[in-house]
Amino acid sequence: MTLVAHERFQAAPSEPEYELDRERQTVAAGAAAITLKGLEKSFGSNRVLRGISLHIPAGQFVAVIGKSGCGKSTLLRILMGLDEPSAGELHFEDEAGADTHANARIVFQEPRLLPWLSVADNVAVGLGDRIDRQAARAAAEAVLNEVQLAEKASEWPSRLSGGQRQRVALARALVSRPGVLALDEPLGALDALTRISMQELISRVWRELGFTTVLVTHDVSEAVHLADRVIVLDEGRVALDLAIPDPHPRRHGNAKLAELEGRLLAAILGSDVP
Ligand SMILES: Nc1ncnc2c1ncn2[C@@H]1O[C@H](COP(=O)(O)OP(=O)(O)O)[C@@H](O)[C@H]1O
Ligand SMILES: [Mg+2]
């Protein structure tokens, strides 16, 4: 997919080179690279995104952090094709670097399940209606197994805990084997322990399935725990683009990661620190 709204191009500040360690990490056949060039978005006179240029290699896990209102959700909506940029370009690229249409899915903070459908049927919604019921049910059960909810397939959403509902939402996003998964504060409404187990789950399915991931979170420690790379947005620009070189899966309480977390927090808080 290509969206060309404007010819302007601005280089990202000191964008590092990223190479995925292919020994360590599966990259799914359908995983797409993402390129943004000079992406801008304004709502009236409110210039929310002011020239975002990034290249995200296929299979990379990127976290986007920044203050509330800095444009994180706007960026994800544009990535998902739910909104149009005011200027700049967005491309998805296949392994050969050719423009492609990515199968991109998103999970929001609220699971947005349909209360009148069973858990398995909610997951099957992610397949659309191009596939017959029996095949859809089989695919839904397979992915429910991946998120450790196989035994809830026939249950109503109202009978699940908040964490379980969010796992159903993740399963619905994964059932079509996306090349790009966008997560907009997906764990923001969960309690601390459920968050940690969901973080491990997201990390595991990402390592197993190998899609490109863009996670928006306000939790810096979550970003550093999960991502290959953390991007700080500030006033519509990339304020910091930091590689997190530690292999996955990661332990909580790692001193090197704590140091990176401190740098990221300082970049977000900036002049707000007394
Ligand atoms: N549909 C919209 N119409 C007008 N303004 C919007 C719209 N969506 C977002 N905004 C504005 O864009 C800015 C960034 O919002 P958002 O991307 O939701 O921030 P974040 O997710 O980082 O908290 C805010 O000032 C918000 O009010
Ligand atoms: Mg948001």
Instruction: Provide the percentage of residues in the chain whose pLDDT is more than 70.
Output: 89
Residues 15, 238: Cα–Cα separation, whole Å? 10
Q: Verify whether ligand 1 is closer than 6 Å to residue 84 (CB atom).
A: no
Note the ligand closest to the C-alpha atom of 64: 1
Task: Tell me the average pLDDT across 210-221.
Answer: 96
Task: Look over the chain and give the mean of its residue pLDDT values, rounded to a whole number.
Answer: 89
Residue with structure tokens 């998120």? 147
Residues 241, 222: Cα–Cα separation, whole Å? 16
Q: Which of 65, 73, 84, 231 to mutate to test the pocket of ligand 1 (most atoms within 8 A of CB)?
A: 73
Residues 81, 102: Cα–Cα separation, whole Å? 11
Give residue 25's pLDDT band: very low, low, confident or very high (50, 70, 90).
low
For residue 259, what pLDDT is reported? 93
For residue 131, what pLDDT is reported? 83
Task: Tell me the average pLDDT across 15-37.
Answer: 66
Residues 103, 92: Cα–Cα separation, whole Å? 10
Q: Verify whether ligand 1 is closer than 6 Å to residue 74 (CB atom).
A: yes
For residue 174, what pLDDT is reported? 96
For the chain, domain boundaries? 25-103+178-274, 114-176
Of 141 and 19, more confident: 141
pLDDT beyond 80 at 21: no
Top CATH class of 25-103+178-274 equals alpha beta
Q: Distance from the CA of 73 to the center of ligand 2, in angstroms?
A: 4
Instruction: Estimate the crossing angle of helix 162-174 against helix 133-146, to 10 degrees.
Output: 120
Q: Distance from the CA of 202 to the center of ligand 1, in angstroms?
A: 26
Give residue 72's pLDDT band: very low, low, confident or very high (50, 70, 90).
very high
Of 6 and 136, more confident: 136
Q: Distance from the CA of 241 to the center of ligand 1, in angstroms?
A: 22
Residues 200, 146: Cα–Cα separation, whole Å? 12
The stretches of 69-213 forming alpha helices (DSSP H) are: 72-79, 119-124, 133-146, 162-174, 192-209
For residue 150, what pLDDT is reported? 97
pLDDT beyond 90 at 224: yes
Task: Tell me the average pLDDT across 107-126.
Answer: 96
